[in-house]
A and B are shown apart, each in its own frame.
Chain A
Amino acid sequence: MTDVILEKIGKTYPNGYHAIPSVDLSIEEGEFIVLVGPSGCGKSTLLRMVAGLESISEGELRIRGERMNEKEPAERDIAMVFQNYALYPHMTVYNNMAYGLKNRKVSKNVIEQKVTDVAEMLGLTDLLQRKPGQLSGGQRQRVAMGRAMVRDPKVFLFDEPLSNLDAKLRVQMRVEIRQLQRKLGTTTLYVTHDQVEAMTLADRLVVLNKGKAEQIGTPMDLYNKPATPFVASFIGSPSMNLLPANLVEQGVQISSSLTLPLSHNYRGCVVWGIRPEHLEITDEQNADFALRIQAVESLGAETLIHGVLEEESKKGIPMVVRLSGPHLPELNSLMWLTAPVKHWHLFDEITQQRL
């Protein structure tokens, strides 16, 4: 069943700034959707429009078939977790969680039951009488989630909830959020700028760029078949190597002296891409090109090698190679590489669409 529908949703500010031209998205019940994009791409604005904290300038928002554009945030049956948690500092954890239920005139016994249940689920039972100021970052994060959960809303909205936590806690909370969401089965809309968070959490991802949805799909769709160079470079770390090239009869012409053979009907300017993990080391005879090594990052399980293409006319084009296991090549030496055709990504340079 389709739960949330965004139909040609757009946002224009009173000063005329067109923040979001038009976004279409339909979310299935229980689905975990992540909105991801660089800062200023409109992802938070979109989330706030769903929440009712920003007005919707164009298009229609429907939750369970009902038009929501004119409804107050409280009437939309959503719950939101804010980046800074937005806990009420003068209330105890218990009252923070009970506030929404009290406002909805739920009876005292029911409130107590619900708050205790959720507190137990989140491991907050011992903290119920504390105030937010006495909690650690991770605990505050949990309270914010608990406050959203007690109301048992139709939709959860998360606005970069993990960005104020340290790296280790972030990974832990990421896993916890995913497990909780699976368990509760609540439709979720989650905003982040962190592509790792996006990939690990999402059932489906929406990559936003300048207010436009560049691509909507499962994390693996986006990784394997990015629709645009923007998605290609945004998803995956380190990001995909992208080079401007020319598609000619002999294949992909990267420079006057380097053409990678390919038969393709398209002719013209393209963007050629390959992920760092898909480049393979080989010997001079079988190599497609050579890389002059400039820096080596050893991460133990994998090694990232940064270099520039050793090509007469294209000297200085940077490329990254990702190898599994430890490697210690000498700096400034040449590395011979091959790029298997099946891993190539080709985009039309003008329309920015995948070929």
Chain B
Amino acid sequence: MTVTFPQKGLPWLLLLPQLLVTAIFFLWPAEQALEQAFYQEDAFGLSREFVGFENFIELFTDPLYYQSMLTTLFFSFSVAILGMSVALLLAVMADRVIRGKLAYQTLLIWPYAVAPALAGVLWWILFDPSMGPIALWLESAGVDWNHYLNGNQAMILVVIASTWKQISYNFLFFLAGLQAVPRSLIEAASIDGASPFKRFWTIVFPLLSPTTFFLLVVNLVYAFFETFGVIDATTKGGPGQSTNTLVYKVFEDGFVGLDLGGSAAQSVVLMGIVGLMTVIQFRFIERKVQYS
């Protein structure tokens, strides 16, 4: 349906609030970051000089940056795969529950309402080496847990904390996807002699593939860009560089290390990655397989 306005002014007026928000909170900072990336600024923000691509050259010759990239990739895929597997398992089980279905589903959705930083603090307390219940339990089980010293353990902690929050979201989508699979298909497959396990992998899982792909992209984007709070509340990127993801590094280099130019250059790189992921998302999701 197309609505035509009699005069040209009104549509712009109606769009104005959204355009203002976009301009002030998105376009302007983006432009600032882009500009900043080509300057070298002193720690107090009093003076700056134009340095061209120097910030970028420095960035791409820094082995720490590549390490951070690898860390981010490992972290993101771990979060996405772990989060989706657990959510799918929970969704399959919740789909089978007959009594108290709503209670299960509501409880499983709740964690999504918890703010990322709070989720981080929660897990930080649970895993605290000196007083956290999980850490103490691990210790009694013979695992020497200290994520302040052990980089791998720190990584495990941030992956768990970030995943936990995302499971609810994935669960919702998987559950909806499972409920959209016609019952008669499952029945036909059971008459066709497929075991429950085989039915799941040959019928249900392929039919969930649009949901799975959508969630993969959403989860990767989440792990890439929205886990700052979790990391800041638990490990602050450490120990060493072991949980220093690209987004956390922007903050750390910019506001802790006060290298505003280098941090801006990293932001520009991240912008590029966001753009790329958006393109991928639209390319594939818009063309996702249509099941009749």
Contact = CB atoms under 8 A, between A and B. Distances in A.
Nearest to A84: B184
Nearest to B194: A103
Contact of A89 (B187, B189, B194, B207): B207
Interface string A18-52: 00000000000000000000000000000000011
Interface in A75-118: 78-80, 82-84, 86, 88-90, 99-100, 103-104
Interface string B181-205: 0101101111111100010001100
Interface string B145-189: 000000000000000000000000000000000000010110111
The number of chain B residues touching the other chain, given as a range, is: 20 to 34
B212 to A, nearest CB: 13
Contact of A86 (B184, B207, B289, B290): B184
- The B interface, classified by DSSP as helix, strand, loop or mixed, is helix
B182 A86 contact: yes
Nearest to B203: A88
B181 to A, nearest CB: 10
Nearest to A72: B190
A80 B190 CA distance: 11
B29 interface: no
A78 to B, nearest CB: 7
A73 interface: yes
Contact of B192 (A83, A89, A103, A133): A103
A295 interface: no
Nearest to A131: B292
A211 interface: no
Contacts, number: 62
Given A82-B187, A82-B188, A100 B193 contact: yes
Given A89-B291, A133-B291, A133-B292, A104 B193 contact: yes
B145 to A, nearest CB: 44
B11 interface: no
Interface string A207-225: 0000000000000000000
Contact of A99 (B184, B192, B206, B209): B192
B193, B206, B207: most-surrounded residue (chain A CB, <10 A): B193
A72 B182 CA distance: 20
A316 B193 CA distance: 58
Contacts of B192: 74, 99-100, 103, 147, 151
A72 B187 CA distance: 11
Contacts of A53: 187, 190-191
B288 to A, nearest CB: 12
A50 B202 CA distance: 25
Nearest to A76: B191
B292 A79 contact: no
A132 B182 contact: no
Contacts of B203: 88
A88 B204 CA distance: 10
Contact of A90 (B182, B184, B198, B206): B206
Given A74-B191, A74-B194, A86-B185, 9 more contacts: A51-B187, A53-B190, A74-B193, A82-B187, A83-B184, A84-B182, A88-B189, A90-B207, A133-B290
Interface of B: 182, 184-185, 187-194, 198, 202-203, 206-207, 209, 289-292
Interface of A: 51-53, 72-74, 78-80, 82-84, 86, 88-90, 99-100, 103-104, 132-133, 147, 151
7 contacts: A74-B190, A80-B188, A84-B182, A89-B292, A100-B193, A133-B290, A147-B192
Among all A-B residue pairs, the 4 with the closest Cβ atoms? A100-B192, A103-B193, A86-B184, A74-B193
